Structure 1
Amino acid sequence: MAEYDLSPLALDATSIDLAGRDAEGRFVVVQCKDYREFTAGDLRKAVETFTSGRRPFNADHLIVATSAPTERTQLADELATLQREHEDLELDLWGAEQINDLLRYQADVVARFWTRETAEVFCTGARPFRVSPLLLPTARSRRTASSSGLSRRVR
């Protein structure tokens, strides 16, 4: 098994802020961007920084998370372009909207990092009405679909 340097300095050199494993045991890495506005150029730079060198943990799933809104069409278009350019990498973009939706069900996390009172008000458990995010097929899902005979429906 390969060993990885998990020190803050080593992770900073790779532009990765968080690393973990998904339910299947694959490494997922997260780049966090505390930006007031997040542009298509910012997204491209984040992905190119990650893909330009040796991938930490040999991760094949990158999440770019930002405190800025990400519902603009230009970001969805750039994410789709980047996914085509990096078919071996699963890419996700989480903006303020997606992060808030996830945190609404995590009162313990909200209370820990903000206050218990904030959690009581913010964590309503009610799902806000939203249009589902654009889900792009990844190289992995295309391989799975192709091997299972579903490729005509997926592509």
Structure 2
Amino acid sequence: MAVEDGGLADPLRLATGLGNGPLPPPRPQAEVLPFGHLPPRRFEDLVRRIAVDVDGYDEADRYGTDGQNQGGIDIVASRAVGGGQVAYQCKRVEKFTPTDLREAVEKFAVSQPLGITELIIVASCVADDTHLFQDLQKLRVRFPELTIRTRYGRRISDDLRSHYAIVEEFWGRPTAEVFCTGTVTAGPANSDMHTGSRTQISIAGGDARVFQIGGSVFGGTFNGD
């Protein structure tokens, strides 16, 4: 199903009640979620949700309280089948440097209070510095007994784009509607959808886009043919 001359694919027209009028220009989606709006403890709550709903662990719990020696661990996640645990270290920061990375890994490597050998460092900022990548490789060589992974703001955002419920919980529905792909907020023109609930539209071979029309945000899947 294709979109031609500014027209909208029929299933999405039915969902939004747009009729046959021309579409407005697409509203660009944000690349990175506003992690800075979350207090540090709330960011830890987000990482707990990611551990379970994105990474597939069965349980994820905070380790320790403020003031305790946590050994470089904020969250401990585990699977019911096969066992094994992983430690998450949460950094709600505006900048994360190679020094920060090295100190985080060293703190965990020295302590290892639970005998966990896998560490995931989750930092809220965008970190594209080549030195971070290079130092991560050096740390993996230095501590071969550990599995060390990092996840920064852009990767976290990519992981959450298809998790509408999580984005809505932490940033609210307007952000979730604009940020997440494949969602539609029905406008008042459609008498069957006055509640404004979101609707999933899937059209094979299409691209997900989000539009703002008046005060409502619309999204859908389109075919560029």
Equivalenced residue count is 122
Asked if 1:110 corresponds to 2:167, the answer is: yes
* Partner secondary structure for residue 57 of structure 1: coil
Q: Distance in 2 between matches of 1:40 and 1:61?
A: 19
Give how far 1:119 is off.
1.1
- Are the equivalent residues in 2 in contact too, given 1:38–1:66 (CA < 8 A)? yes
Give the equivalent residue in structure 1 for 2:134.
Answer: 77
Q: Distance in 2 between matches of 1:122 and 1:50?
A: 34
Distance change >3 Å, CA 9–CA 70, structure 1 → 2 = same
Task: Point out where structure 1 has 5 or more consecutive residues left out of the alignment.
Answer: 128-155
Give the equivalent residue in structure 1 for 2:33.
Answer: none
Give the equivalent residue in structure 2 for 1:29.
Answer: 87
Q: Provide runs of 4+ in structure 1 moved above 3 Å.
A: 9-12
Distance change >3 Å, CA 122–CA 56, structure 1 → 2 = farther
Give the equivalent residue in structure 2 for 1:41.
Answer: 99
Distance change >3 Å, CA 6–CA 30, structure 1 → 2 = closer
Map 1:6-155 to 2 at 5 A: 6-9=63-66, 13-22=70-79, 24-53=82-111, 55-124=112-181
Identity over the aligned pairs, expressed in percent?
34
CA RMSD in angstroms, aligned pairs only? 2.3
- Are the equivalent residues in 2 in contact too, given 1:11–1:17 (CA < 8 A)? no
Q: Give the structure with the higher percent strand.
A: 2
Name the TM-score, length of structure 2 as normaliser.
0.49
Q: Distance in 2 between matches of 1:81 and 1:43?
A: 11
Q: Distance in 2 between matches of 1:10 and 1:19?
A: 18
Distance change >3 Å, CA 33–CA 67, structure 1 → 2 = same
Q: Distance in 2 between matches of 1:61 and 1:31?
A: 11
Q: Distance in 1 between matches of 2:70 and 2:63?
A: 11
- Are the equivalent residues in 2 in contact too, given 1:83–1:89 (CA < 8 A)? yes
Q: Distance in 2 between matches of 1:84 and 1:98?
A: 24
Q: Give the structure with the higher percent helix.
A: 1
- Are the equivalent residues in 1 in contact too, given 2:102–2:135 (CA < 8 A)? yes
Q: Distance in 2 between matches of 1:29 and 1:63?
A: 6
Q: Distance in 1 between matches of 2:96 and 2:121?
A: 11
Q: Deviations for 1:37-82, whole angstroms, at most 9, x for unmatched residues?
A: 11111100000111112x1332111011111112211000000000
Give how far 1:13 is off.
2.7
Name the TM-score, length of structure 1 as normaliser.
0.70
Q: Deviations for 1:125-144, whole angstroms, at most 9, x for unmatched residues?
A: 679xxxxxxxxxxxxxxxxx
Q: Deviations for 1:94-140, whole angstroms, at most 9, x for unmatched residues?
A: 1101110111111111111110221111111679xxxxxxxxxxxxx
Larger Rg over CA atoms: 2
Q: Distance in 1 between matches of 2:113 and 2:68?
A: 8
Give how far 1:6 is off.
4.4
Q: Distance in 1 between matches of 2:116 and 2:67?
A: 15
